[in-house]
A and B are shown apart, each in its own frame.
Chain A
């Protein structure tokens, strides 16, 4: 389709005849006077925003993580939990659920588990967003997508205030998934319904200290 490529680029150049030939992109000033964050205490703000999205949030101290995961699994009656291959083993030692490591499970095998446990790359306090970048303890994207319950562990030191700080931290060459609450739709008379195609339940466990 070289023909169309040249045609489109030719049209674009012709359309921009008014732009001075010596103008560079940087000559078009972009005022960056907006805030990098909007204040607030990150962890309490994150909790508030997540709950606003109908996610369940638990704050635990170091050492309380395994029990918090086990408790969530019991509360949600999760018999089989899938975990990324590099999820720290001690996170799931207390849970009675069967732990299935994702060593390349098929889509149907993933569909047959009740829930998933992951960590995250970063969490944005002021928007209540958790970002997964498939790094340590996060697994591939399908793992946090197909099971109906997502238990996500956020360390307090992974919480940042705002979106600009987050974008600056992330590597765009990784596959990124930003999650703000469970799957939701407002397509029917604008009534918000939690749970359509993604996980219907998001439980966030924030590990502090």
Chain B
């Protein structure tokens, strides 16, 4: 069954391991570059992308600032359409509600559409403990589930697995879960996809209960929306008798017409397609079409913590496209597991500490899991200023108890950097002592050097080098008695001469 993230190492420790895995780094680089190139061209087709992005941001801000009203409106609309709405304050309550709803049907098996919310609350584990088996039906989630593994990407959870590994997982485990993989299974993607189709086909046709998330929940009509590619979503949303959707309270959009913005922003940002192969929408159950019973579980689970933070609130605009993961130089080198959560990458680095608080070392380390290069903000379809939130969360982390060494270091650094003379002295001292500096520093700074290689210290500081260079140039110029019209030309000439000499 699915494993939990409990006991994961903090980001620097996990990242140190991942960055030394050349296969993982290769896979990630290939994958992220492929998706980001596709995204670039899909986004480039729309000359009003900036306007769509501004509208998407504003719609989500409107929703968040008036979330209480929209939640009540959504509840009324879903109820009026024949659905039943449940409220879950945390993961435990959500799992209890879903478990009870499944038990009420008398069924012991459910099929699942890929859903970040149910991953977040570890629903599969909870169902398993209640004697209910949850079958993941998205191909990547199936690979993760069969491999007793953890997802590492929001969009392509098995991005860390290559075809040979997937073949091996299918051959080894499919028989334990149902229809076995064919003995002569090749590692061609088409063959592997066909094996998944055969493995799940009967399950789709026979299972009476499905569990999904939703990409959007429309407040004024009570409509739920799921975007997908494989048709597994359509199967789960169409064939079972009961459908249970677990949806974060931030997934609301105010009105039906707002979808015109998000159905353009999401596919192009996410898979780099003009549109994903399948989108299903449903407004309560429909006689003779789709499930007879529909339950919507509205999930808080820390979202109101994020909402309470005026800077951090913008993380709730996220539509889970994963563009920020694919562009992130840190994610590209560490992979998703290092983030210790179902939400990896830049968005995970700001979402997790807000959902869970920063008392846990994993969450406290995440605001530092970034170079603050800003690429994530550039590609975000709802303009979440991730670097701004990261810096804000860093302030929060260091203002909490337990960061004495960092505070002392920063205090000392401030004292040195505020005075040119002190800085010069310090740099000279460091340069002179370079042969004595160890690779790892003992004591509190070991938290830094245990997971990073200490950089080589140069012989001279930049200031020393610059001063020497200026002096040498001046000597040379005076020696040649060459007039100097201005600094720039002087520099050019000296460069040219340098070239001739070499």
Where the two chains meet, the residues of A that have a C-beta atom closer than 8 Å to any C-beta of B are 1, 4-5, 7-9, 11-16, 18-19, 23-25, 28-35, 38, 49, 53, 104, 107-108, 111, 124, 126-129, 134, 140-142, 145-146, 163-164, 166-168, 172-191, 193, 195-199
Give Cα distance in the complex from A23 to B58, angstroms.
15
Residues on B with beta carbons closer than 8 Å to the beta carbon of A33: 48, 51, 54-55
Where the two chains meet, the residues of B that have a C-beta atom closer than 8 Å to any C-beta of A are 27, 30-31, 34-35, 45-48, 51-52, 54-55, 58-59, 61-62, 65-72, 81, 86-89, 93, 97, 137-140, 143, 156, 158, 162-163, 166, 189-190, 192-194, 196-197, 200-201, 204-205, 218, 221, 223, 229-232, 234-235, 238-239, 249, 254, 256-257, 259-261, 263-264, 267, 271, 273-283, 286, 288-290, 298, 300, 304-305, 307-308, 310
Among A14, A15, A29, A166, the most chain B Cβ lie within 10 Å of the Cβ of A15
Residues on B with beta carbons closer than 8 Å to the beta carbon of A14: 304, 308
Please state if B277 and A8 are interface contacts (CB–CB under 8 Å).
Answer: no
Known: A190-B34, A198-B234. A29 touches B249 (CB 8 A): no
Give Cα distance in the complex from A118 to B308, angstroms.
49
Residues on A with beta carbons closer than 8 Å to the beta carbon of B221: 172-173
Question: Which of B69, B166, B229, B290 meets A186, CB within 8 Å?
Answer: B229
Residues on B with beta carbons closer than 8 Å to the beta carbon of A7: 87, 89
Please state if A175 and B281 are interface contacts (CB–CB under 8 Å).
Answer: yes
Residues on B with beta carbons closer than 8 Å to the beta carbon of A107: 205, 239
Q: Which chain B residue has the least Cβ–Cβ distance from A14?
A: B308
Q: 28 A-B pairs, CB-CB below 8 angstroms?
A: A8-B249, A35-B46, A35-B47, A108-B205, A142-B239, A142-B289, A145-B235, A167-B259, A168-B260, A175-B286, A176-B280, A176-B282, A178-B280, A183-B277, A184-B229, A184-B230, A184-B277, A185-B139, A188-B158, A188-B163, A189-B27, A196-B197, A196-B229, A196-B232, A197-B232, A197-B235, A198-B235, A199-B231
Minimum distance in angstroms from B382 CB to a CB of chain A: 12
| Number of inter-chain CB pairs below 8 Å | 246
Residues on B with beta carbons closer than 8 Å to the beta carbon of A1: 86-88, 93, 97
Residues on B with beta carbons closer than 8 Å to the beta carbon of A35: 46-48, 51
Give Cα distance in the complex from A198 to B229, angstroms.
9
Minimum distance in angstroms from B466 CB to a CB of chain A: 47
Give Cα distance in the complex from A142 to B241, angstroms.
13
Give Cα distance in the complex from A11 to B193, angstroms.
44
Give Cα distance in the complex from A199 to B230, angstroms.
9
Residues on A with beta carbons closer than 8 Å to the beta carbon of B52: 34
Give Cα distance in the complex from A60 to B166, angstroms.
44
Please give me the 9 A-B residue pairs with the lowest Cβ-Cβ distance, nearest first. A198-B231, A15-B308, A197-B231, A11-B304, A178-B279, A28-B62, A127-B275, A15-B307, A187-B140
